[in-house]
Amino acid sequence: MTTAVPRLVEVRRNVLKQNDVIAGELRRRFREAGVYTVSLVSSPGSGKTAFLEKTLSRLGPSHRVAALVGDLATENDAARLRRSQAPVRQIVTGTVCHLDATMVRDALEGWNLADLDFLFIENVGNLVCPSSYDLGEELRIVLLSVTEGEDKPLKYPTIFNSADVAVITKLDLADAVEFDWDAAVANIRAVRPNMKILSISAKTGDGMDEWQRFLEARIA
Amino acid sequence: MHELSIAISLVEAAEEEAAKLCAAGVSAVHLRLGPLSGVQKESLLFSYHLAIEGTPLQGSCLLIEDSPVMVFCTACQTRRPIRSLQSFCCATCDTPATDVVQGRELEVVALEILE
């Protein structure tokens, strides 16, 4: 006869353990292969793809680069990134609003990681959900475009706190939208003290030299 | 909203743990949830009810214990809460904080099982 009184049993189990295990395996594979992996997160329309396209084109001549790009429904971003000549694979997530480590692992199938110096992973445009999922990346970049407003970091502190570097994009539009640089920096550092902040314009190329030097220093 | 995916992972994790304990059923799942996990409590509670349908956890409830952000404050040389997520500094001395020691949790800490 079973008793109807429940018994409380302590367990310790990370809900995303499976993702974290796969992300840990990916990180080990990336390090063993000597490929430096950078993921990009931001809201939709902040300029991730333009930034990444310019990054791939700039690094391409001197480094071996490749990219994975997540999108809910289209292959448009991958088509744009392929103009850089780098190998690019699209991860179409369907209704899923973020990438997880399994999607990254599956998308890498058949690529020899040892043939790469840099791998970029462009997440789905979303400032909420990607923060929960480790992708095995070495560096997580969060983008903030000048057109979004300086208070975005305060509205989405978790994703900014989970990132290593903030990149302010669309600098060429800063004057037109009266972007308050000091407020943006203060807000980013309020949610993530001491965070490294870069600013760029993919259109004019402003700031791209410093970004490139920053990346190259990672693998030096 | 990714809480439904999280709820499905949560149910799978709880099912596995319940199976290890040879439980005949599960009446409650206790979860510790930190604000830096990126998971919304209310959305997760809502999603949980959808995720347990047709699983051995059907009929169980989800009990969430908040796990507030704690940092190691370099000035105070001890664990401290922060002012807020919008002001990531020691609540006692205002020193900016980078060493998070608590607040990322998304973990099952206990099950109420039927035997």
Q: Name the residue range of residue A130's domain.
A: 36-219
In this prediction the pTM is: 0.92
Query: H-helix or E-strand containing A85?
Result: none
Per the domain annotation, does A98 fall within a domain? yes
pLDDT (0 to 100) of residue A83 = 86
For A190, the closest of B2, B5, B87 (CB atoms) is B87
- Give ipTM to 2 decimals: 0.87
Closest CA relative to residue A125, chosen from A86, A152, A164, A154:
A152
Q: Which CATH number goes with the domain that contains A179?
A: 3.40.50.300
| Residue A2 confidence (pLDDT) | 52
Residue tagged 């040879």 (tokens): B22
Question: If you ran DSSP here, which 8-state letter would residue A127 be given?
Answer: S
Establish if A25 belongs to a structural domain: no
B110: chain A residues, CB-CB within 8 Å: 8-11
| pLDDT attached to residue A4 | 74
CA A183 to each of CA A88, A89, A148, A199, B21: distance values in angstroms, whole numbers, following the listed order: 36, 37, 13, 14, 53
Residue A156 and residue B76: Cα distance in Å, rounded?
Answer: 28
pLDDT of residue A82: 87
8 Å CB contact between A10 and B110: yes
Q: How many CA atoms lie within 13 A of B113 on its CB side?
A: 18
Q: Which of A174, A214, A208 is nearest to A196 (CA)?
A: A214
The answer to whether residue A129 is domain-embedded is yes
Cβ-defined contact of B115 to A2 (cutoff 8 Å): yes
Q: What residues of A are in contact with residue B17 (Cβ under 8 Å)?
A: 11, 13
Tokens of A127: 């400032």
**Is beta strand B87-90 parallel, antiparallel or unpaired with respect to A88-92?**
unpaired
In a domain, A16, yes or no: no
Cβ distance of B112 and A157 shorter than 8 Å: no
- Answer whether residue A41 is part of any domain: yes
d(CA B28, CA B4): 18
Decide if A22 is inside a domain: no
Tell me if A176 is assigned to some domain. yes
Q: In this structure, is residue A154 part of a structural domain?
A: yes
What 3-state class would DSSP assign to A30? Answer: helix
Helix, strand, coil percentages, rounded to 5, for chain A: 40, 20, 40
Tell me the nearest-neighbour CA distance from A157 into chain B, angstroms.
6
Alpha carbons B10 and B99: distance in angstroms, whole number: 27
Quote the number of domains for chain A.
1
Give the pLDDT of residue B71: 97
Number of Cβ atoms within 10 Å of the Cβ of A20: 15
Q: Which residues of chain B have pLDDT under 50?
A: none
Interface probe, candidates A11, A102, A140, A154, chain B, greatest B C-beta count within 10 A: A11
Rounded distance, CA A192 to CA A186, Å?
Answer: 10
Q: What tens-digit pLDDT sequence spans chain A (220 residues)?
A: 555 789 999 999 999 999 999 999 999 999 999 999 999 999 999 999 999 999 999 999 999 999 999 988 888 888 888 888 889 999 988 888 899 999 999 999 999 999 999 999 999 999 998 999 999 999 999 999 999 999 999 999 999 999 999 999 999 999 999 999 999 999 999 999 999 999 999 999 999 999 999 999 999 8
Q: Which domains does chain B have, with CATH numbers?
A: 3-114 (3.30.2320.80)
Q: What Cα–Cα distance (Å) separates residue B79 from each residue in A131, B44, B50?
A: 24, 28, 38
What pLDDT is attached to residue A48? Answer: 94
> How many CB pairs (< 8 A) connect A and B?
108
β-pairing, A118-122 vs A65-71, is: parallel
pLDDT of res. A97? 87
